[in-house]
Amino acid sequence: MKQIYSHLGVSREVYEYGETVLSALRPRFDAIDRTAEYNQCKVLAAMQKNRVNATHFAATTGYGYDDEGRDNLERVYADVFHTEAALVRPQITCGTHALTVALSANLLPGDELLSPVGAPYDTLEEVIGIRESKCSLKEYGITYAQADLKPDGSFDYDAIRAAINDRTRLITIQRSKGYATRPSFSVAQIGELISFCKSVKPDVKVMVDNCYGEFVERLEPSDLGADMVVGSLIKNPGGGLAPIGGYICGKKECVERCAYRLSAPGLGQEVGANLGLMPAFYQGLFLSPTVVAGALKGAVFAANIYEKLGFPCVPNASEDRHDIIQAVTLGSREAMVAFCRGIQAAAPVDSYVTPEPWAMPGYDSDVIMAAGAFVQGSSIELSADGPIRPPYAVYFQGGLTWYHAKLGILMSLQKLAEAGIIVLPSH
Ligand SMILES: *Cc1c(COP(=O)(O)O)cnc(C)c1O
């Protein structure tokens, strides 16, 4: 084993340090495997109930009327998420698009949208109109209110109660911290928040931005009262095989409006050819619980490696996981660059390129990114990125297999050691 790792560029010291850290993580890994086993059964039950067969993998083109593969996949998704309906389409281009469809379909002029968990994901700022944009919800007369989290990251129930008014139509809850420093929420916490909001206003609808959270736990927010759960297929539920797509699962009345918004009033879910993507969508969903387990093991391994070396990690080395993202505060530009070069060097694709910080549009500092993915931009595949500014944190996520995630983390450590930024403890 040491030999093959050394062939890949991992020194004996780094490998052995990794093994020492790993030896203490077996109980954590067992728990992750049990969750994956449960979720694998959930996905299998949904596929069996809906009698998935080879005809569902056929490609359709044009209008896509009577696309049985597409319609059945939506039944499978609805059963996995325990919802009345689902919209799962390659025509949904990304997570932001799925969230935009869900919001704009279920909010009308004069309505108010409330986020009870602080600021939403960056790309939603223009969707909502927090940052001015053409075609924002704001432009269509939909207002936005926000209740911030308390300093300790918990829900500010008083502020939320005060923010809910007679115009509050939809409440949006983001499960994952995304690229913020707040904690991610457990499904149980989200369930409590949904109950609270509905106790204040029983007819309010709740949408959960489920990105990065699918299959991390046994329950999904739709099991605890969410009217819609929304996410991207180039994250968890696409299992690394879906090359594009998004999903919205939820109440029939909400999902139907989403379909009317995505295509056209009157057409709804009836149109939208599958373009030959059904094998990837079905098989990706089938693999997703296992893929998510691998990514989670990588995140836990990274937190334990880096925390022991003195770098603050969110979540920390021992906390439960509610999404697949791991933040590691490295403290300097040089360390961020070395870390990302290690992740890149471990990739199956583009392993020979060297990531450099660059001035990415929309950011106020340079950004560094490492990704060597089969699907461009896929973040269920091993990837790392972060803005080059204090506290110099990298956000790292994914890994289609645990072994690849492990190699990526060992390579990041190797590059930090080679740059003289860390000295491994001797044991
Ligand atoms: C990834 C993500 C999105 C959507 O991002 P896309 O890049 O458009 O797919 C939205 N919210 C959260 C929390 C995310 O992680």
pLDDT of residue 179: 75
Q: Which amino acid makes up residue 11?
A: S
Tell me, using a 6 A CB cutoff, whether residue 100 lines ligand 1. no
Tell me, using a 6 A CB cutoff, whether residue 123 lines ligand 1. yes
Burial class (CB in 10 A: 0-12, 13-18, 19+), 103: buried
How far apart, in whole angstroms, are the C-alpha atoms of residue 299 and residue 323? 10
CA 120 vs CA 28, 146, 176, 348: distances in Å = 30, 9, 10, 33
Per DSSP, what are the bridge partners of residue 114? 145, 171
Mean pLDDT of 321-349: 96
pLDDT of residue 168: 98
Mean pLDDT value across the chain? 96
Q: Which amino acid makes up residue 51?
A: R
Residue 402 has pLDDT above 80, yes or no: yes
Model confidence, pTM: 0.96
Percentage, residues of the chain above pLDDT 90: 94
Residue 22 has pLDDT above 60, yes or no: yes
For ligand 1, what atom is nearest to the CA of residue 325? Answer: 15
For ligand 1, what atom is nearest to the CA of residue 232? Answer: 9
Closest to 58 in 3D by CA, of 269, 285, 275: 275
Tell me, using a 6 A CB cutoff, whether residue 232 lines ligand 1. yes
Span 358-393, pLDDT tens digits: 987 767 789 999 999 999 999 999 999 999 999 999
Of 131-140, 172-181, 242-251, 279-288, where does mean pLDDT reach its minimum?
172-181
pLDDT of residue 362: 65
Tell me the CA–centroid distance for residue 54 and ligand 1, in Å.
32
Closest to 127 in 3D by CA, of 164, 170, 162, 89: 170
Residue bearing the CA closest to ligand 1, atom 9: 95
Mean pLDDT of 73-90: 98
Of 211, 212, 228, 378, the one to substitute when testing ligand 1's pocket (max ligand atoms within 8 A of C-beta) is 211
Of 117, 124, 181, 209, the one to substitute when testing ligand 1's pocket (max ligand atoms within 8 A of C-beta) is 209
- Res. 343 pLDDT band, cuts 50 70 90: very high
- CA atoms lying within 13 Å on the CB side of residue 379: 19
Residue 233 has pLDDT above 90, yes or no: yes
Tell me the CA–centroid distance for residue 425 and ligand 1, in Å.
37
- Res. 10 pLDDT band, cuts 50 70 90: very high
Closest to 99 in 3D by CA, of 210, 256, 244, 223: 210
Tell me the CA–centroid distance for residue 352 and ligand 1, in Å.
28
Span 321-334, pLDDT tens digits: 999 999 999 999 99
pLDDT of residue 29: 98
Structure tokens at 72: 């059945």
Tell me the CA–centroid distance for residue 4 and ligand 1, in Å.
36
Tell me, using a 6 A CB cutoff, whether residue 212 lines ligand 1. yes
Residue 426 has pLDDT above 80, yes or no: no
Of how many residues is the chain composed? Answer: 427
Percentage, residues of the chain above pLDDT 70: 100
Tell me the CA–centroid distance for residue 124 and ligand 1, in Å.
9
pLDDT of residue 427: 55
pLDDT of residue 181: 73
Closest to 343 in 3D by CA, of 413, 290, 277: 413
Structure tokens at 25: 């993580």
- Res. 96 pLDDT band, cuts 50 70 90: very high
Mean pLDDT of 207-229: 98
Omega prior to 315 cis, within 30 of 0: yes
Tell me, using a 6 A CB cutoff, whether residue 370 lines ligand 1. no
